[in-house]
Amino acid sequence: MAVRVVTDSASSISDADRSRLGLTVVPLPISEGGRAISEDELAAPGFYERLAAMPAPPTTSQPTPEAFATAFRALAGDGHDVLAVLISGDMSGTVASAEAAAAEVRTDKGSRVEVLDSRSNSLEEGFAVLSAAEAAHAGAGIAECRRLAEETMRRTRFLFTPHSLEYLRRGGRISRAGALAGVVLKIAPVLTAENGSTGIAGVARSVRAARAKIAALMRTDVERHGLRRAAVQYAADVDEANRFAAEVIEPIVGDAVPVVPIHPVVGLHVGPAVGVVYETEQPLR
């Protein structure tokens, strides 16, 4: 039985990969003042400029179980097994919604419907999605697709630095005192997704120094564990991301790397930022 992979919009999967691999992407809703914001509005130029001017940030929520059930039923109805690879359950209720839908669809359709918590977001989640979807596209069964996604999860890291701590404060990720201390002490954190939530991989005294810290951490990982693939991710400024790729990441990789926007469903919680996602040859964890 053929396998189809489902993910959410936080994974930053490109339209090209959606089409190439037959991926189904369930959007994470965003609303402003009770009004739903469409994917087109999120992708429009100037989103982060508008975000900075908003008195209160937009809110995000997980897709409903009904949204997942609709996606699962359509695939199961066509005779497919379904593997959903999703944003960390500690960052969103998305996994819980998908699990509820999967239990219902398994009963209705008799298909295998499994849910995998990626323990991350953005392209670190996306790399696990792609591993599963590429295996499915090649004819692998659901157990093999899941195994390969889980192996990828152990080989990936996401390191990024925001321009400001204000967006994290507005979103409740840090306290007002913490944000103020960061400004006063001129701390530029290097953030990462670890154990399912956002953590600090290091600190520096400037954004420039934080980017050098990212390079040092990545270089150490690559020297110890090899490298399979990497991509620069950014929120807001693509020119900055292109410079970061050319000056910081590509000298480590030895080749050009793709520059991929962070989906606004993640970006609105950190504001303008730049970072790198990479997958090593050997496990990091």
pLDDT band for position 1 (cuts 50, 70, 90): low
**Within this chain, do residues 227 and 105 fall inside the same structural domain, yes or no?**
no
Based on the domain organization, do 161 and 131 belong to the same domain? Answer: no
- Give the C-alpha separation, 49 to 38, whole Å: 17
pLDDT tens digit sequence for 114-136: 999 999 999 999 999 999 999 99
Domain stop point among 154, 169, 202: 154
Q: Is 285 helix (H, G, I), strand (E, B) or coil?
A: coil
Q: What tokens appear for 127 in the block?
A: 């790399």
> Once rounded to an integer, what is the mean pLDDT over residues 145-154?
98
Mean pLDDT in residue range 144-150: 98
Query: What is the per-residue DSSP string for 5-73?
Result: EEEEGGG---HHHHHHHT-EEEPPPEEETTEEPPHHHHHSTTHHHHHHH-SS--EE-PPPHHHHHHHHH
Domain with 249 in it: what CATH number? 3.30.1180.10
Confidence of residue 255 (pLDDT cuts 50, 70, 90): very high
Residue 169's pLDDT is 62
**Length, in residues, of the chain:** 285
Other C-beta atoms lying within 10 Å of the C-beta of residue 115: 24
Q: Which among 172, 209, 169 has a CA at the least distance from the CA of 189?
A: 209
Which of 110, 126, 154 finishes a domain? 154
Residue 285 lies in a domain: no
Q: What is the pLDDT of residue 175?
A: 42
pLDDT of 185 reads 42
Do 92 and 146 reside in the same domain of the chain? yes
User: How confident is the model over 161-175, as pLDDT tens digits?
Assistant: 998 777 666 655 454
Domain annotation covers residue 284: no
Average pLDDT over residues 258-280: 92
Q: What is the share, in percent, of the chain residues with pLDDT greater than 70?
A: 91
**Residue 184 located in a structural domain:** yes
Q: Which of 121, 154, 187 is the last residue of a domain?
A: 154
Q: What is the pLDDT of residues 67-120, one digit of tens each?
A: 999 999 999 999 999 999 999 999 999 999 999 999 999 877 678 999 999 999
Same domain for 172 and 126? no
Q: In this structure, what CATH number is given to the domain that contains residue 109? A: 3.40.50.10170
* pLDDT band at 186; cut points 50, 70, 90: low
Give the separation between CA 94 and CA 117, rounded to whole angstroms: 9
Name which of 15-19, 94-98, 207-211, 281-285 the model is least confident about: 207-211
User: Averaged over 155-164, what is the pLDDT?
Assistant: 93
Q: Could you tell me the pLDDT band of residue 3, with boundaries at 50, 70 and 90?
A: very high
Average predicted confidence (pLDDT) for the chain: 89
Residue 33's domain spans which residues?
A: 3-154
pLDDT bracket for residue 157 (50, 70, 90): very high
pLDDT at 284 over 60: yes
HSE at residue 223, side-chain half, CA atoms within 13 A, is: 7
Count of structural domains within the chain:
2
- In this structure, are 20 and 109 located in the same domain? yes
160 shares a domain with 149: no
Rg (CA), the chain: 19
Sorted by sequence, the CB contacts under 8 Å of residue 49 that are 6+ apart come out as none
Q: What percent of the chain has pLDDT over 90?
A: 67
pLDDT band at 31 (very low <50, low <70, confident <90, very high): confident
Q: What 3-state class would DSSP assign to 120?
A: coil
Question: Which tokens sit at 213?
Answer: 């810290």
pTM: 0.92
Task: Give me the mean pLDDT over the 198-209 stretch.
Answer: 87
Same domain, 211 and 190: yes
